[in-house]
Amino acid sequence: MHPTSSPVAYAIYVVFFVGMLVLFAVLIRQRLKVMLQAEPVHRYDHIGTRIWNVVKIVLGQSRILNFKFFDAGIMHAFIFWGFVILLINSSDILFGGLFHGFHFPLLGPGSALLTIYFYSRDIIEIIVLVMIFYAFIRRLVLKPKRLTINYEGYIILLFIFLIVVSDFFMNGAATVMHPNDLPNVSLMNIWVGGYFVSQQMSWQTAHLIFNIGWWTHAVTVLVFLDFLPVSKHFHVITAVFNVFFKRLDTGYLPKLDIENATHYGASKIHHFNWKAILDVYTCTECGRCQSVCPAFNTGKPLSPKRLNEDMREYINKNRHTIDANPREKLDELDYVGDPLIGNTISEDVIWACTTCGACEHVCPLTIEFIDRIVEMRRSLVLEESKFPKELVTTYKNIENNSNPWGIGASEREAWTEGLTLRRMRDVKKTDVLYWVGCAGAFDDAGKKTSHAMVKILNAAGVDFAILGTEENCTGDPARRSGNEYLFQMQTETNIETFNKYKFNRIVTQCPHCYNTLKHEYPQFGGNYEVIHHTQFIEELLEQGKIKLTKPLKERITYHDSCYLGRHNAIYDAPRNVITAIPEVELSEMPRHKEDGFCCGAGGGRMWMEETIGTRINHDRVEEAIRINPNVVATACPFCHTMLNDGLKDKGQEDIRTLDIGQLVAGAMKEA
């Protein structure tokens, strides 16, 4: 006899089932409406890649099973996999209450596949139960600092516990009720049912236990379903979509249509694009992002996790305002807790970000942070003219002299004195356009790298030329600090210059220039083949065009630039070049490659004072010092400056900071 066999029980179940589904639809609609009111963004390309991301990241839990968070990863992965497998069982129970005798195809009574499923389900349920107990221990005893511990987590664990245990009791009771008539047997029939039989449980008691188990299971699943949209566990629903719509290229920022925009950047929720809203809904509050954030780890007020929490709270407060009004009127309305910037999210939070991408790299659900932070910077800079005072000078320097240092533009070629190289204005055409960059032309350390590159290029017989005084700042510091207008001015000027000449590819020693020229100039019609100098040097070595014959007896540790590494996945070329130098010992810092720690200069921070907490570059050089190197190798002029300054601050002047180009030039046989 089924728990919903009686007319009254059936009616109660139908009303409850339909009511909970309607409530779920209402809750989803409220959240979907906020996304529909947001800015559009195109995330429908490369469908095959996106599907594979879902398989790998969501189903395979590839990001969850990160070695840094392995114990928590194992716990979550098994709970998730258990959830997926148990979904079949729970669906069978729910629909069986409506349609007695319901079963999924190939899983009917007596089928061999059903027996296999029952045994698999029971094993998974046991594992899930163990993981639930471990989850309670983590929250009650271990209490990881990165984890947000609140009542929601306990409720979810209780729901899962009830779903699993109710299943155990249902299977055990069924053994007593049908001792000789079970079409399929599972472990729980044998174990729990065997115990019930040994206790000489009556049919009536078993029937009562079965009914209680069935109703507990059904009610818990439906309440669980409606709890998801109003909690951080909404990610159970949104995860697949968030991963499917993830960015497939992290090297660029979205273009702002300055001429036609009705607002600049984001100061209200509907100013963000719909994927940003989906990101906020999807955050699990696991804290992995803040555990690797250089700002958070050095005492700054920025926590990527807290950014998501604050935005979600702001959305929840203003959902009805957004839902009740057309999008074109939302700018005229007051939101609860207005303004978003300065009230819900402080300006110190927004300016603390180095845009290093570490948070996005470790997020198990591919949440994006950088675009949101830059959009808020754009609003502050372009709409309110509010930004750190140091940027006033930086912006003026770029605008007046086309470099952040403010040195006269006519001095851009001063570093070339005594060197053999050509200018594009003289040759018009070349194979390689050597993009020196502002640091390579004006910074003393950067000039040494430029000299080394000229030596390498000449020794390899490369057909190259520079733009010289025609070269301008790419605009990277302006764009990442929110001054999109200034960035676009620089971009248009540089593209106009490029179009005057012919060249096959651009080589640059600055990862910020590399990233901007390669990924962001195409937004404005500037499509070029761009290569970083470490890649180009590796290529020259492989082709035998340069030979490294002078041994450098140095113990070297290499610092990964965020914009070369995480943003562009260039990890091997720098290391291959270093290890090609005779008698060099390469020793890695604990945080390296994908897990490398920022120097503190990205996101325009190179030009801002660091007045809150400890200095990011100090944190990084302390790690380098523990390696006990002779040389800290870099592949970025900003990293070079930050690490060199940090070593001096720590009294470690005996540890030199050298660009990889300098190391290579020093290992080459003199002409």
Going by pLDDT thresholds of 50, 70 and 90, the confidence category of residue 104 is: confident
Question: Which of the four CATH numbers 1.10.1060.10, 1.20.1050.10, 2.60.40.3880, 1.10.3720.10 does domain 269-383 have?
Answer: 1.10.1060.10
Per residue in 119-137, pLDDT (tens digit) is: 888 888 899 999 999 999 9
Average pLDDT, the chain: 93
Q: Looking at residue 190, what is its pLDDT?
A: 81
Going by pLDDT thresholds of 50, 70 and 90, the confidence category of residue 640 is: very high
- Pairwise CA distance, residues 518 & 493, whole Å: 16
Going by pLDDT thresholds of 50, 70 and 90, the confidence category of residue 183 is: low
Cα torsion angle, 547, 552, 553, 554, sign: negative
Q: Looking at residue 110, what is its pLDDT?
A: 78
The predicted model gives 176-204 an average pLDDT of 81
Q: Looking at residue 220, what is its pLDDT?
A: 96
pLDDT for residue 422 is more than 80: yes
Q: Identify the CA nearest to 665 among candidates 453, 509, 446.
A: 453
Residue with tokens 């350390």: 445
Name beta bridge partners: 466. Answer: 423
Quick one: which H or E segment has residue 617? Answer: helix 616-627
- How many angstroms separate the Cα of 515 from the Cα of each of 247, 569, 576? 16, 11, 21
Sheet containing 429-435: give its strands across. 464-465, 429-435, 502-508, 530-532
The residues, ordered by sequence, that sit 6+ positions from 505 with a Cβ below 8 Å of its Cβ are 431, 432, 433, 528, 529, 530, 531
Report helix, strand or coil for 461: coil
- Pairwise CA distance, residues 411 & 317, whole Å: 54
Lowest mean pLDDT among 211-220, 333-342, 483-492: 333-342
Per residue in 525-545, pLDDT (tens digit) is: 999 999 999 999 999 999 999
Q: Looking at residue 181, what is its pLDDT?
A: 66
DSSP per-residue letters across 248-305? S--S-PPPP-TTT-SSSS-SSGGGSBHHHHHHHHH-----HHHHH-TTGGGT-S--HH
Amino acid at 259: E
Q: Give the pair of three-digit tokens for residue 145.
A: 């600092």
The predicted model gives 274-301 an average pLDDT of 96
**What's the CATH fold of domain 554-667?**
Rossmann fold (3.40.50)
Whether the Cβ atoms of residue 547 and residue 509 lie closer than 8 Å to each other:
no
Q: Looking at residue 327, what is its pLDDT?
A: 87
Question: Domain ranges in the chain?
Answer: 7-244, 269-383, 402-542, 554-667
Cα torsion angle, 83, 89, 91, 97, sign: negative
pLDDT for residue 103 is more than 90: no
Amino acid at 568: N
pLDDT for residue 93 is more than 80: yes
Shared fold status for 402-542 and 554-667: yes
**What's the CATH fold of domain 402-542?**
Rossmann fold (3.40.50)
Give 51 or 147, the one with higher predicted confidence: 51
pLDDT for residue 587 is more than 80: yes
- Pairwise CA distance, residues 461 & 218, whole Å: 75
pLDDT for residue 377 is more than 90: yes
- Residues of the chain above pLDDT 70, percent: 99
The predicted model gives 302-326 an average pLDDT of 93
- Pairwise CA distance, residues 38 & 330, whole Å: 11
- Pairwise CA distance, residues 569 & 560, whole Å: 10
Q: What does the radius of gyration of the chain's CA atoms come to, in whole angstroms?
A: 30
Quick one: which H or E segment has residue 393? Answer: helix 389-401
The predicted model gives 72-93 an average pLDDT of 89
Q: Looking at residue 179, what is its pLDDT?
A: 78
pLDDT for residue 671 is more than 60: no
The predicted model gives 637-645 an average pLDDT of 98
Q: Looking at residue 588, what is its pLDDT?
A: 97
Per residue in 378-414, pLDDT (tens digit) is: 999 999 999 999 999 999 999 999 999 999 999 999 9
Q: Looking at residue 144, what is its pLDDT?
A: 83
pLDDT for residue 67 is more than 70: no
Quick one: which H or E segment has residue 403? Answer: none
Residue with tokens 């009720």: 177
